[in-house]
Amino acid sequence: MLRDITLGQYYQTESVVHKLDPRVKLVGTLLYIISLFLVNNLTGYLAAALFLGCMIFLSKVPFRYMVRGMKAIVFLLLLTVLFNLFLTPGEALVQVWKLTITKQGVRIAVFMAIRLTFLIIGSSLMTLTTTPNNLTDGLEKLMGPLKRCKVPVHEISMMMSIALRFIPILMEETDKIMKAQIARGADFESGNLIKKAKAMVPLLVPLFISAFRRANDLAMAMEARCYQGGEGRTKMKPLQYKRRDYLAYVVFLCYLLILLALRNLRMLP
């Protein structure tokens, strides 16, 4: 049940996309998401799909891993589509009782569905090809300039990487405690909502205690190795742009330009 969470799931393989600097992937994903909202015609979406398809092909990550991330948002997707379909004013196409489907509604609903799908697949492509550690490293580097405004950039990225690291550990722990309580006759499944919530106490209390204990141990271990925060701290493997990274930026730029061109193309007669 808890294993369905795909957050921060990394797919190990050798590919160009995997080797890219995490900063490129972060910026690229952000640009891609923005581009999805700039597009205003089907030709543009075709280009976006083509681009995404190429990236997936290059990454060598099986397509089903991308789809797995989609499962979580199916409900959200349906809701968005339905709302857009029925609540957009305009030229009526079909009328059922008080609900009207308009031409504009269909258009917006389809575009919204495409945008959300591409958005999720695009960002899962990033997390699937980047290790959590690399991701936080990249974020730290990208947010570097914010340090001047007294934003604790290093601390934020450290917390992120620790949080990501703890997800599998805590899931394993949950499984263990759950089994132990089931062995003592606990019942997590039957009963109404209140009963179910009450049944969580024997699970949550030990889980919290164990999380605190682990956090405490980790803090101790970090201090024992003289961790003092980001001040003057260097990295064993500092992020450095290579030729392929600059090339990737160029590719992204080209993609953006093409999309913008396609956007204006429609304006022409």
Partner 1 sequence: MASYALRDVSLVIPDGQFIGLIGHTGSGKSTLVQHLNGLLAPTEGSVYFNGEDIHEKGYDKKKLRSKVGLVFQYPEHQLFETDVFSDVCFGPRNLGLTQKETQLRAFEALRQVGFPEEYFYQSPFDLSGGQKRRAAIAGVLAMRPEVLILDEPTAGLDPKGRDEILERIAALKRDTGITVVLVSHSMEDIAEYVDRIIVMNRGSVLFDDVPSVVFTHVKELEEVGLAAPQVSYIMQALHESGMPVRTGATTLEEAEREILRALGR
In the complex with partner 1, the residue whose CB is nearer, 147 or 176, is 176
* Least CB distance to partner 1 at residue 166 (A): 16
- C-alpha distances (whole Å) from 243 to each of 57, 135, 178, 246 are 21, 20, 50, 5
Residue whose structure tokens are 């682990």: 214
* Least CB distance to partner 1 at residue 143 (A): 37
Residues in the chain: 269
Q: What is the DSSP letter of 149?
A: G
CB under 8 A: which stretch of 23-31, 111-119, 203-211, 259-267 binds partner 1? 203-211
- 176 scored as a contact of partner 1 (CB under 8 A): yes
CA distance linking residue 25 with residue 32, whole number of Å: 10
By CB under 8 A, the residues from 205 to 234 that bind partner 1 are 205-206, 209-210
- 185 scored as a contact of partner 1 (CB under 8 A): yes
Report phi then psi at 152, rounded to 5: -75, 75
- 184 scored as a contact of partner 1 (CB under 8 A): yes
CB under 8 A: which stretch of 36-44, 118-126, 181-189, 244-252 binds partner 1? 181-189
In the complex with partner 1, the residue whose CB is nearer, 50 or 180, is 180
- Written as one letter, the residue type at 58 is L
**Pick from 119, 181, 244, 249: which binds partner 1 (CB under 8 A)?**
181
Sign of the torsion formed by the C-alpha atoms of 144, 148, 151 and 152: positive
In the complex with partner 1, the residue whose CB is nearer, 92 or 197, is 197
- 177 scored as a contact of partner 1 (CB under 8 A): yes
CA distance linking residue 46 with residue 49, whole number of Å: 5
Paired residues of 169 in beta bridges: none
Report phi then psi at 101, rounded to 5: -100, 125
Q: Residue count at the site for partner 1 (CB under 8 A)?
A: 17
Beta-carbon count within 10 A of 38 CB: 13
* Least CB distance to partner 1 at residue 173 (A): 8
Residue 31 tokens read as 């640009």
In the complex with partner 1, the residue whose CB is nearer, 115 or 214, is 214
- 90 scored as a contact of partner 1 (CB under 8 A): no
**Alpha carbon of residue 43 to chain centroid:** 26
* Least CB distance to partner 1 at residue 180 (A): 4
Nearest Cα to 37, choosing from 142, 121, 127, 108? 108
Query: Interface mask (CB under 8 A) for partner 1, residues 122-161, using x and -?
Result: ----------------------------------------
* Least CB distance to partner 1 at residue 175 (A): 10
Alpha helices in 14-131 (DSSP H): 16-19, 22-38, 42-59, 63-71, 74-87, 103-129
- 202 scored as a contact of partner 1 (CB under 8 A): yes
Task: Point out which residues bind partner 1 (CB under 8 A).
Answer: 176-177, 179-187, 201-202, 205-206, 209-210
